[in-house]
């Protein structure tokens, strides 16, 4: 029945499915050639999950994807780098907040399909790619196959991003974004918008023409050894970015700052009556993040600062940091993130938020001489 479509049948092909004693439901390949204006998509998952995804606005309101996948005038060119391979280089000045890409996945994989026999799981992956529209399939085959194993599985493992859909983790392949190389101190950040099934990449600082556009593949707030091990294990390369290659004396300083960032974040997030959090701590956190060039993560630091000022009843500093937080969090976590919404509320109506004057009366020492505010 491949290639034939019954009326109201939403997929382009009849789903191929496999199941066994470990699977509650069969896992199948669902392909739509109509998705995203003809770019198409294959989804490997259960039937109930696929039909739930089909109810997302990405499918039910196709017009919302009108401006997505637009590669007519990209702000970058592809460049071949020694060691790293292909990467993308800005061809014009990009300002903080500028969109670099917005793309829909050509493949979404439910990792629970690993419960299938290996040969059947691979069969589904191969069918998922084979069934894509020709141009989209070619984009997949142009991706890097780092581990030199099964050619489809390898390209997925080298290039897929983790996504959350209905609270569950999936893997998505976005061929354009897969051209971005890693840097522990990147100049761009990405997030996945579940409703539109769209992956967004934005500049998180100004990027000059000729500069490589980079993202982080790993938790870049982790210390150097953890970052390096993770990159080697999952992407097979020795991290050579400046924060990994610096002199040991300098990387030790960087690690010390990262540990202090973690400690300050924990203290600032303590809302018990014993909390020792102060706005000065939040200022130190912001300063450390800027020093570490963790620009995308500044959204969290600004959020903690907004709340710290709010908790001591300092309205305009709370507003200032809430506004900054909205800007950065929206680039790093997404426009619909709960924290973005909370910070918008704090920016517009600080005195009505739960954090307002919450810590007034808590001990707050300035300069260690015991003054209470
Ligand atoms: C998603 S691809 C990125 C695009 C890739 N450079 C290409 O030519 O298709 C991920 C792979 O790129 C390479 N890569 C990415 N960032 C790198 C970096 N900072 N240093 C060395 N290799 C890197 C690694 O081989 C990694 O497995």
pLDDT in tens, 16-56: 999 999 999 999 999 999 999 999 999 999 999 999 999 99
* Torsion angle of the four alpha carbons 63, 65, 67, 71, in this order, in degrees rounded to the nearest 10: -130
Write out pLDDT tens, residues 90-119. 999 999 999 999 999 999 999 999 999 999
Rounded to 10 deg, the angle between the 151-159 and 118-130 helix axes is 80
User: Model ipTM?
Assistant: 0.99
pLDDT band at 362, cuts 50/70/90?
A: confident
Compute the distance between CA of residue 139 and CA of residue 201 in angstroms, rounded to an integer: 18
Distance 118 CA to ligand 1 centre (A): 27
Q: Which of 147, 182, 230 to mutate to test the pocket of ligand 1 (most atoms within 8 A of CB)?
A: 182
pLDDT category at 146 given cuts 50, 70, 90 is confident
- Nearest-10 crossing angle of helices 248-268, 298-311: 40
Check pLDDT > 70 for residue 299. Answer: yes
CA of 20 to the centre of ligand 1 (A): 36
Q: Which residues of 299-325 are buried (b: 16+ CB within 10 A; e: fewer)?
A: bbbbbbbbbbbbbbebeebbbbbbbbb
Q: How far is the CA of 125 from the centre of ligand 1 (A)?
A: 22
Look at residue 2 in the predicted model and tell me its pLDDT.
Answer: 47
Task: Indicate the top mutation candidate among 82, 84, 86 to test ligand 1's pocket, ranked by most ligand atoms within 8 A of CB.
Answer: 84
Q: Where are the domains of the chain?
A: 16-215, 246-352
- The answer on pLDDT for 368 being more than 70 is no
CATH topology of domain 16-215: Beta-clip-like (2.170.270)
DSSP secondary structure, 111-171, as one string? GGGGGS-HHHHHHHHHHHHHTS-HHHHHHHHTS---S-SSHHHHHHHHH-EEEEETTEEEE
Q: Which H/E stretch holds residue 215?
A: strand 212-215
Give the distance between the most distant pair of CA atoms in the chain.
80
What distance in angstroms lies between residue 321's CA and the mean position of ligand 1's atoms? 35
Asked if residue 338 lies in contact with residue 303, where contact means CB atoms within 8 angstroms, the answer is no
Element counts in the chain: helices (H) and strands (E): 13, 13
| Amino acid 228: pLDDT | 97
Q: How many whole angstroms separate alpha carbon 244 and alpha carbon 223?
A: 10
CA dist 146 and 155 (Å) reads 7
Average pLDDT in the chain:
94
d(CA 273, CA 158): 47
Q: How confident is the model at residue 6 (pLDDT cuts 50, 70, 90)?
A: low
pLDDT at 5 over 80: no
CA separation for the pair 289, 205 (Å, rounded) = 13
Full 3-state SS string of 26-84: CEEEEEECCHHHHCCEEEEEEHHHHHHHCCCHHHHCHHHHCCCCCCCCCCEEEEEECCC
Checking if the pLDDT of 370 tops 50, the result is no
Pocket test for ligand 1, best of 237, 238, 243, 245 (most atoms within 8 A of CB): 237
Instruction: Determine the distance separating the centroid of ligand 1 and the alpha carbon of 243, expressed in angstroms.
Output: 17
Please state, in angstroms and rounded to a whole number, the distance separating the CA atoms of residues 29 and 46.
8
DSSP annotation of 178 reads: G
Asked whether 218 lines ligand 1 (CB < 6 A), one says no
């Amino acid at each position: 029945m491949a290639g034939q479509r019954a009326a109201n049948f939403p997929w382009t092909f009849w789903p191929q499915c496999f199941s066994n004693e470990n699977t509650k439901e069969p896992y199948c390949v669902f392909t739509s050639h109509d998705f995203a204006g003809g770019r198409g998509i294959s989804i490997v998952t259960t039937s109930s999950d696929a039909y739930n995804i089909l109810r997302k606005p990405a499918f039910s309101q196709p017009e919302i994807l009108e401006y997505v996948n637009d590669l007519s005038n990209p702000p970058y060119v592809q460049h071949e780098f020694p060691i790293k391979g292909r990467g993308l280089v800005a061809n014009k000045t990009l300002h903080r907040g500028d969109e670099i890409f917005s793309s829909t996945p050509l493949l979404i994989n439910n990792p629970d399909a690993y419960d299938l026999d290996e040969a059947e799981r691979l069969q589904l992956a191969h069918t998922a790619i084979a069934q894509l529209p020709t141009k989209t399939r070619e984009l997949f085959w142009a991706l890097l196959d780092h581990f030199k194993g099964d050619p489809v599985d390898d390209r997925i493992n080298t290039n897929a991003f983790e996504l959350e859909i209905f609270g569950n983790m999936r893997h998505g392949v976005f061929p354009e974004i897969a051209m971005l190389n890693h840097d522990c101190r990147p100049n761009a950040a990405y997030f996945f918008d579940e409703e539109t099934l769209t992956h967004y990449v934005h500049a998180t600082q100004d990027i000059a023409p000729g500069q490589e556009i980079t993202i982080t593949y790993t938790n870049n707030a982790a210390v150097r050894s953890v970052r390096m091990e993770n990159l080697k294990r999952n992407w097979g390369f020795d991290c050579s970015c400046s924060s990994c290659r610096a002199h040991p004396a300098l990387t030790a300083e960087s690690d010390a700052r990262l540990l202090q960032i973690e400690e300050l974040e924990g203290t600032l997030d303590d809302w018990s009556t014993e909390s020792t959090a102060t706005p000065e701590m939040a200022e130190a956190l912001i300063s450390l993040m800027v020093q570490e060039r963790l620009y995308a993560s500044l959204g969290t630091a600004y959020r903690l600062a907004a709340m710290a000022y709010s908790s001591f009843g300092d309205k305009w500093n709370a507003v200032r940091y809430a506004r900054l937080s909205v800007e950065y969090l929206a680039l790093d976590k997404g426009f619909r993130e709960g924290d973005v919404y909370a910070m918008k509320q704090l920016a517009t109506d600080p005195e009505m938020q739960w954090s307002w004057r919450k810590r007034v009366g808590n001990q707050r020492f300035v300069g260690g001489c015991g003054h209470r505010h």
